[in-house]
Structure 1
Amino acid sequence: MALAENSGLQPIETLSAVEAQQIKENNPCCGIDCNDVGTNDMREQNVFETLIGKQQQLLLATQVVKMIPKIDDVITPSEY
């Protein structure tokens, strides 16, 4: 939704249309056409997310989750 909104599209309508297209065509490669190319197929637009990119996102999310308790430990002793 954020991608559609940042592209100047109606987020809910655009997302609903893409999800319906994914189900209708049984194509998981449909996405938001941000560049107004005319197709929602990300393979045709040469938009790919690599395995390394997904691994880095997961690693970063894990690091953030681990940091939250550490931040709480640092903040709590100063209140006493």
Structure 2
Amino acid sequence: GKVNVNSEDGYWRTPLSFAAEGGHEAVIKLLLKTGEADVDSADQWGGTPLSFAATGGHEAVIKLLESHPHIS
């Protein structure tokens, strides 16, 4: 469909950052599979999907994000 995987809320958070924060590995896989998800996106305080996953201790999500070719 026509879904913007990089849509942002009022604090610049994206679906990927919310999924990473919650440790939702299956959702992250779906978002990354689109080839459109910005893994380096940052919210207004500098939080990234990787930092949210790390703060939550979501090791599987961290590995997914770190293995993505566009992570900085």
TM-score, length of structure 2 as denominator length: 0.25
User: Which of the two has greater helix per residue?
Assistant: 1
TM-score normalised per structure 1: 0.23
